[in-house]
Structure 1
Amino acid sequence: MSSGVIASFEYATQQMAIYMNLSNLIIGIPGGLLNIIVFLSLKTFRESTCAFYLVIVSFANLGQLINGALIRLLISGYGIDWTISSRFSCKLRSFLSQYLSLISFTCLCLATIDQYFATSSRVRWQQWSNIKVVRILSIITVIFWALFSIFYAVYYDIVTSTSTNKTVCTNTNADFDLYNSYFQRNVLQGFLPNLLTAFFAVLAYLNTRNLAYRTVPLVRREHDKQLTQMLLVQVIVNFFSLLAYNIISIVIPNVLKSTDPLVLAKARFVQILSYSSYYFYTAWPFLIYVCVSERFRRQLAYVLVVKYLQHCPKFAFVGNQVVPDT
């Protein structure tokens, strides 16, 4: 009876890993590319400091889906682990996993802070929302986290377990493993960005409610409202998807110490569930933007139909009815 239950949990774990990660890839990769196309195609976004950060976030999220969700799909769903094929692949994936996620979290935090400054009624704070500051902070972010993530390339290596005889790509330094488990994973990639983005997204939203009483151009006012709304909903979705991952990450190491096979099977199921749901924040931004912003939907239609499809002979037509809302 127990062996049948264990087998059922193992099968459920495999199927969940396949369908959740496959869904993340199907939704996230086209969505991320469309986000980048829209943000880079329209002048209103190219001149926006907040959108500049969101472009970087979109690129980082695409990298995470390929380096994270795709690899997780192959490992947990089909037992294909290319990270143990060579030390280089092991170290490269470990480096990219941390590097891309830290860039994504940091730039999303900076985007919410920048949007708070941009919508502030204080001129002094508005001055911090300018493209020069954004470019400097982006360069610092990219370089700093690249140097920081080198530690993962150094300490991660291919190891064969003496008890299970399984070869895995894992951390080989005990002290660094404690840091990674309790600070990096739960603070830098969890509670800290969650709290910062939620705090500044709410403040920016409160600022936009007062824009009608300020002498702000209508186009700028609508643009700020749009970006703030998009960010606020994205932050709420991120908060819950990452919160579950962080809580499980704290609890699961102690459960995995159990010698009961049934307990281990259940823990493995929960662990893979948390790993798969972790990538929701990289896969869902496009759907969030489309669902919450009518203006973004018009901009998307304008970019795809007017700026691109009309240049193709098969789709060229006269009398386009899509109103550009750039």
Structure 2
Amino acid sequence: MESWIISFLDYFSKQLAIYLGTVMLLAGLVGGFLTIVVFLSLHTFRNSSCAFYLLVMSIFNIGNLLGGLLTRIVITGLGIDWTISSQFYCAFRWYYLYSGVLTSFTMICFATIDQYFATCTRPRWQRWSNIKLARWLSFAVIITWPILATPYMLYFKVIEQSPSGKLVCTSVNKMFYQYHTYVYIITLSGTVPIVVTLIFGYLAYRNVQTLAHRTLPLVRRELDKQMTKMVLVQVVHNGFASIPYVIVIAIMNSSSAPTDPVSVAKLQFFLLLTIYFYYFNYVSPFYIYLGASERFRHQLFYVLLEIHLKRWRRRQTAVGQIDQQLYTHA
């Protein structure tokens, strides 16, 4: 009976990886690419500090999907574990995920804080929301997290787990493993982003309620409302996507964690479910923006149809005219 349950959970885990994981990966890559295209194509977004944070976040979200979710699909769905076949990849994957995940979450925290400052009634605080500061802060974060991730290249190695003899990619330093679990996973990529974004998201929401009574330019007012709405919906979504994973990780590393094979298999299966749920942090932003903001939907269609499609048609027409001239003169 126990072996049947374990085999069923293992089979279902593979199917989830192949089908759900693949759909999430493709949707996340397409959504991330379209978000980048929209933010880079419109002058309104290029001059918005909040949009700049979301742009950087979208770039790193794509990297997190390729470095994290793709590997998860290959390991669970296809049974090919790159992390135990290569010492370098074992360490580098966690090095990259530490840098990429924390950069992504830092950007959404900055975007939420930025919208709080942008919607404040005090001009002195509004000055903290500016594109120059956003660029410098983003550059500092992109440099800082990879430096702090250096211990992953030193301590994460492929070792043989006793007594099973199974190869695993894990930290050979117990203190660093505790840091990896409780500081990186539970705190920096779990609790802290949720708390920070919820607090400043709520404050930004309160500020937005008073925008209609202020003497602000219409374009600025509509942009602030749009960006705040997009960020707030993402903040709430990220909280629901992250909390289950943090809880399961905390249970698995607690002293009361189950040890019998069936309970361990069930807990591993729930962990896998929460991991996929966690990856929605990187899959869903584009679709959140589409659903939350009618203005973003219009901007997307304008960018794709009015800017890039017409530009491509003009280029094709020009190439056709050159070819026709060459053919005529020949």
Fold conserved (TM > 0.5)? yes
What residue number does 1:62 align with?
62
1:286 is displaced (CA, Å) by: 0.6
What CA distance in whole angstroms lies between the structure 1 residues aligned with 2:147 and 2:198?
A: 28
Q: How does 1:203-242 map to 2 (within 5 A)?
A: 203-242=203-242
Q: How does 1:169-318 map to 2 (within 5 A)?
A: 169-254=169-254, 258-313=258-313
Q: How does 1:73-88 map to 2 (within 5 A)?
A: 73-88=73-88
What CA distance in whole angstroms lies between the structure 2 residues aligned with 1:106 and 1:122?
A: 25
Local SS of the residue matching 1:226: helix
TM-score, with structure 1 as normaliser: 0.93
2:89 maps to a residue whose letter is S
1:258 is displaced (CA, Å) by: 4.1
What CA distance in whole angstroms lies between the structure 1 residues aligned with 2:201 and 2:138?
A: 19
Local SS of the residue matching 1:305: helix
Local SS of the residue matching 1:35: helix
Instruction: Verify: 1:122 aligned to 2:117, yes or no.
Output: no
Which deviates the most, 279-288 or 258-267? 258-267
What CA distance in whole angstroms lies between the structure 2 residues aligned with 1:77 and 1:256?
A: 30
Cα gap change, 1:270 to 1:281, in 2 (>3 Å): same
1:23 maps to a residue whose letter is V
Q: Deviations over 1:168-207 (max 9, x none)?
A: 2211110111121112211111111101011111211211
1:110 maps to a residue whose letter is F
1:62 and 1:282 in contact (8 A); partners too: yes
What CA distance in whole angstroms lies between the structure 2 residues aligned with 1:214 and 1:145?
A: 39
What residue number does 2:101 align with?
101
Local SS of the residue matching 1:313: helix
Larger radius of gyration: 2
1:30 is displaced (CA, Å) by: 0.3
What CA distance in whole angstroms lies between the structure 1 residues aligned with 2:300 and 2:314?
A: 20
What CA distance in whole angstroms lies between the structure 1 residues aligned with 2:9 and 2:256?
A: 15
Local SS of the residue matching 1:219: helix
Instruction: Verify: 1:111 aligned to 2:111, yes or no.
Output: yes
Where structure 1 has 5 or more consecutive residues not aligned to the other structure, the ranges are 318-326
* Number of aligned residues: 317
Which deviates the most, 51-60 or 180-189? 180-189
What CA distance in whole angstroms lies between the structure 1 residues aligned with 2:284 and 2:88?
A: 31
Local SS of the residue matching 1:157: strand
1:254 is displaced (CA, Å) by: 4.3
Which deviates the most, 103-112 or 179-188? 179-188
Q: Deviations over 1:55-76 (max 9, x none)?
A: 1100110000000000001111
Cα gap change, 1:124 to 1:159, in 2 (>3 Å): same
1:58 maps to a residue whose letter is S
2:289 maps to a residue whose letter is Y
- Structure 1: which 4+ aligned runs deviate by more than 6 Å? 314-317
Local SS of the residue matching 1:167: strand
1:310 is displaced (CA, Å) by: 1.4
1:259 is displaced (CA, Å) by: 4.1
Cα gap change, 1:256 to 1:304, in 2 (>3 Å): farther
1:314 is displaced (CA, Å) by: 9.4
What residue number does 2:26 align with?
26
2:98 and 2:184 in contact (8 A); partners too: no
1:16 maps to a residue whose letter is L
1:20 and 1:277 in contact (8 A); partners too: no
1:145 maps to a residue whose letter is W
What CA distance in whole angstroms lies between the structure 1 residues aligned with 2:22 and 2:228?
A: 30
2:281 maps to a residue whose letter is Y
1:245 maps to a residue whose letter is Y
2:150 maps to a residue whose letter is I
Which deviates the most, 83-92 or 146-155? 83-92
Percent identity of paired positions between Structure 1 and Structure 2: 45
1:280 maps to a residue whose letter is F
Q: Deviations over 1:3-47 (max 9, x none)?
A: 222221221222223333222202100000000000010000000
2:251 and 2:257 in contact (8 A); partners too: no
What residue number does 2:320 align with?
none
What residue number does 1:322 align with?
none
What CA distance in whole angstroms lies between the structure 1 residues aligned with 2:277 and 2:23?
A: 11
Where structure 2 has 5 or more consecutive residues not aligned to the other structure, the ranges are 318-330
Q: Aligned-pair RMSD on alpha carbons?
A: 1.8
